Chains A and B, each alone.
Chain A
C-alpha cells in the first residue's frame, strides 16, 4: 500500500491521467466512472489526479519533518541521559511543559507566527515531534550510559560528541527506528490536519488535507470528493507503522 503510494507520488506527472489543477477536464461533480475513477470536484478537476499529486506533498513533508524531529530529539535525549542530574531534570521538565500542549495547537501557533509554506510546515512538525522522540531516546540511552564501554570511552578521553554519537547513538537505533516509523505516520496525519485548517500548503495545490477541507461542503452531494483524499490519508497513516 505504502510502496504503491510512494511510486505513484514519485511518478505523479506520468501516472496521473490529468493535470491536478486544470479545471473542467470533465463535468463538475461527476460521480466515479470509467473516465474519472474517483470522480471530479466542483471545478471539474479529476480527483484521482489530485490524490496522486497530493501524495507528493506528503512524501516531501512527512519524511523530512520526521527526520528533523529524529535528529533534534535524539540529540536532546542523548544530552539529557548522558549528563544526568540537573541538566536531565531541566530538559525533561521543559519538554513536559511543551508536550502539555496538543501538537496541533503548537503547530498552529508556530505557523501563524511564521507564515505558511512547505518548508515551515516541515520545520514546525519536526520541532513539535522532537520532544516525543527525545523521551524515547533518553529512555533508551539511560540504560546504555551506565554500561562499561561508555566509561572506557571516557577513560580514553573521547570527546563529548564522540561518546554520544559514536558510542551511544548506534546502540539506541532499535527503539529510535520504531519511534521514527510511528512518527512518520503521525507526520502525514499532522500535515493533513494543518492543510485542512488552511495552514499548510495553499490552494489550488492538491494537498489531501486541503482537498478534504474545500470539498467538505459537498459531503452530501458529492461524497467521493471528500472520501478519496480522506481514505488516502487513512491508508498512509495506518500503513507506515
Chain B
C-alpha cells in the first residue's frame, strides 16, 4: 500500500466547556488512499465535522488534541507552522462546505473570486488567471463559463453556486477533497447532479475524497469505503458493498433500516427507528456507547469497554457480538398492513391562482385530499409547493380560485375564516429552529394552542398539556423546557402536537422531516402515520424527497413552476408511465439504482416571470418537441385516477415499458429534427 494521503492515527479531539475537557472525537483511525473516496457517516453531533476540521488543522481555539495525530501525506499536522499549513490547504487538501450561499462572497463576481486565487497564490497575470478560472468552471461542467465569470453569486442557482465552490476548491489542484455535507442544502435533483460531478472529477483527476454526510444513501452512491461514527468513535468501517449488505454493527444496521429506499408504502413495511437519544458530549457510559439503544445489547456491553476488532482485512467493527447484527431489513418492525377506509374529500382547491408582486407563482392548480389520506406535493424549490400551502391555509390570499372544506367554500384570507374552519386546517413547518417561539416554554406554548384551537379555558388547556405531549411521545418534563434546550426532532414533535391541538381535519406538512437526521426522520414519519391512523386526519405532505413520499403518501401531485405536471396514486406514478419531469425526480433518488444516478446538465429553469404558455418544463425536458412551449399540454390519463399533462402520447411517456417507448420515441424523432437523442428512458 502506498502512503495514505490523509491518516487519522488514534486521534482524539477534546473541547473545553465550562472548565471541563470533553472528548468529541475519540481514538479515530481512518485513512484515505490516493484516488479513494471514503464516506464518513453519522448523525448530528457524532463528531464528524470536528474530524473534518482536524484534517485541515482548523480546530477552534477551545479545542485540543489530547491523543493521536493527523498526517497529511505523511506529515504530522502538529509539526507544521501556520504558513506551511496554509500552503497545504488548497494545494494538498481542500474543503467544500454545506452551504454554498455563505461560502461565496456576495459582493464580488464569480470571476473575481476565482481569479483571486490564481493571482495571489500562484502569481499569475490577470489574463492567465481568467483563463485558468474558465478552465476550472468547464471542469465542473458549467455550460456557459464566460457568462458566469461576470455574474454575482445571488444571480445563479444553488446548484451552480455549489459547482463554483467546488471549482474554487479545485483551484490549487489538491489531491484530496474534504466534502462536508456538500449536497444537504440542495434539492434532490441538483444533489444527484453534484454527486455525478464528484464521480466525474474522481475519474478525470484521480482525486481522493472524504465525504462527510448524515445521508447513507448519498454515501452509498459515490463511496468506495465507509466509516460509521457514533458518539465520537468509529463503530464500523468497511467497503460500501460489505457495509450495506452485511453490516456488523447494530448501529449501522439500524441506520440502514431507517432510510426510506423509495420502494414501498408504509403499509407494506414500516421503517426502523432507533430508540432513545444520541449521547450528549461527556455523557458516555462505561461500556459500549451504543449499548443503551442497541437491540442486541446484554450485560457485557454495558460493563466492558469495546475496541475495534478486525473481522477481515477490510471490515472492522466496535461490537462485542458483530455476528449477531441483524441483516438489512431485520430491524424493521413486521408489516402491519391495515385497510384504511378513505372518507369523503375534506379539502380541495379549484384552479387556484396566486401572485406575488404581480408575478404569477401558482398558475391554476386544482387538488383534493380525502379523509385519512396522504397526498404528497412534490417539486423542486420554486415550484410553488409552499405557496400552494399558504393559499390553502389563507396565510396569503389567492388571487383567483376557490378553496373548499367539506364542500363549503372558504374565505380567501385566513383572517375572515371562522374558528371551526381555522382549527380544521393546520400546518407543520419545515425548520425546527423557527417553528417554535424561542422565548416560550413548551408547556405554555402548547396550552396557548389548546386554548385558541381546542377552545379550552386556560386551566383546562394547561391540564391537557402532558397528555398531548404523550401523544407525540415526549415526556411530561418537556413542558418546562425552552425550544433551545430541545433537539430538532423533539421540536418538530412539539410543533406536531401544536398543530393537532384542535383535532384538525387536514394538516399541511411542509417538508417536516427534511432538516432531520434519518433516524429522527423515520421516528417522526412513524408518529405522523400513527396520528393519522388514530384520528383519520388528511395530510398534504410537501416534500422534494421522493423516497420519503413513496413511503408515506397514497397519492402524489407533481408540480413544476407553479403548474401541476401530473397526479395520481403513488404506485402508478412510480411504475409508470409518468411525466418526464417526474422521471427526472425519480432518477435523482440516490442509491435507488445500482450505480450513481446519471443526470445530464439541463437547461435553465425559466422562472415564473418567463413561464411559457405551453409546458413550463419544456426548456428542461429531454423529450421536448417544437410545439411544447407554445401549446398547453393535454391531460392524459394512463390509468383511472391519474392525470399526466404532457404532449407525448401515453405510450411514449417514460416508464411506459422499455421496448414500447423506444419505438414511440424514434417515431417522434422522425418528425422532429432538433430532438436530443441523449437519454434513454428507464
Name the one of A147, A156, A166, A173 contacting B422, with C-beta atoms under 8 angstroms.
Answer: A156
Set of chain B residues within 8 Å of A152, measured between Cβ atoms: 427, 429, 435, 495, 498-499
Name the one of A148, A149, A156, A171 contacting B452, with C-beta atoms under 8 angstroms.
Answer: A156
Any B CB within 8 A of the CB of A96: no
Any A CB within 8 A of the CB of B439: yes
Name the one of B429, B440, B452 contacting A158, with C-beta atoms under 8 angstroms.
Answer: B452
Q: How large is the interface on B (under 10, 10 to 19, 20 to 34, 35 or more residues)?
A: 20 to 34
A171–B430 CA distance with the chains assembled, in angstroms: 20
A149–B501 CA distance with the chains assembled, in angstroms: 15
**Contact B414 A171, beta carbon cutoff 8 Å:** no
Set of chain A residues within 8 Å of B502, measured between Cβ atoms: 156
Most buried by B among A151, A155, A158: A155
Any B CB within 8 A of the CB of A170: yes
Mark interface residues in B451-481 (1 if CB within 8 Å of A CB, else 0): 0110000000000000000000000000000
Set of chain A residues within 8 Å of B426, measured between Cβ atoms: 155
Set of chain A residues within 8 Å of B422, measured between Cβ atoms: 155-157
Any B CB within 8 A of the CB of A93: no
**Contact B438 A148, beta carbon cutoff 8 Å:** no
**Contact A151 B431, beta carbon cutoff 8 Å:** no
**Contact A156 B449, beta carbon cutoff 8 Å:** yes
Q: How far is the CB of B277 from chain A (nearest CB, A)?
A: 24
A155–B414 CA distance with the chains assembled, in angstroms: 7
Mark interface residues in B497-508 (1 if CB within 8 Å of A CB, else 0): 011011000000
Q: How far is the CB of A177 from chain B (nearest CB, A)?
A: 13
Q: Which residue of A lies closest to B422 (CB)?
A: A157
Mark interface residues in B405-436 (1 if CB within 8 Å of A CB, else 0): 00000000010010100100111011100111
**Contact A171 B438, beta carbon cutoff 8 Å:** yes
**Contact A149 B395, beta carbon cutoff 8 Å:** no
**Contact B430 A148, beta carbon cutoff 8 Å:** yes
Within 8 A of A (CB), among B485-500: 495, 498-499
Q: Which residue of B lies closest to A160 (CB)?
A: B415
Any B CB within 8 A of the CB of A167: yes
Residues of A in contact, count (CB < 8 Å): 16
Mark interface residues in A156-189 (1 if CB within 8 Å of B CB, else 0): 1110000000110011010000000000000000
Q: Which residue of B lies closest to A159 (CB)?
A: B452
**Contact B395 A151, beta carbon cutoff 8 Å:** yes
Q: Which residue of B lies closest to A157 (CB)?
A: B422
**Contact A156 B434, beta carbon cutoff 8 Å:** no
A155–B425 CA distance with the chains assembled, in angstroms: 8
**Contact B393 A155, beta carbon cutoff 8 Å:** yes
Set of chain B residues within 8 Å of A158, measured between Cβ atoms: 448, 452
A18–B11 CA distance with the chains assembled, in angstroms: 73
Name the one of A149, A155, A157, A173 contacting B437, with C-beta atoms under 8 angstroms.
Answer: A149
Name the one of B436, B438, B453 contacting A156, with C-beta atoms under 8 angstroms.
Answer: B453
A171–B452 CA distance with the chains assembled, in angstroms: 21
**Contact A157 B419, beta carbon cutoff 8 Å:** yes
Set of chain B residues within 8 Å of A157, measured between Cβ atoms: 414, 417, 419, 422, 452-453
Set of chain A residues within 8 Å of B395, measured between Cβ atoms: 151, 154-155
Q: Which residue of B lies closest to A168 (CB)?
A: B437
Closest 9 CB pairs of A and B: A170-B439, A148-B429, A147-B434, A149-B437, A156-B452, A148-B434, A157-B422, A148-B435, A156-B453
Contacts beyond the supplied A155-B414, A157-B452: 13 A-B pairs with Cβ under 8 Å: A148-B431, A148-B434, A148-B435, A149-B434, A151-B395, A151-B427, A154-B395, A155-B427, A156-B422, A156-B501, A157-B422, A167-B437, A171-B437
22 pairs, A vs B, C-beta closer than 8 Å: A147-B434, A148-B434, A149-B435, A149-B436, A151-B427, A152-B427, A152-B429, A152-B498, A155-B393, A155-B414, A155-B425, A155-B426, A156-B449, A156-B453, A156-B501, A157-B422, A158-B448, A166-B448, A170-B437, A170-B439, A170-B440, A173-B439
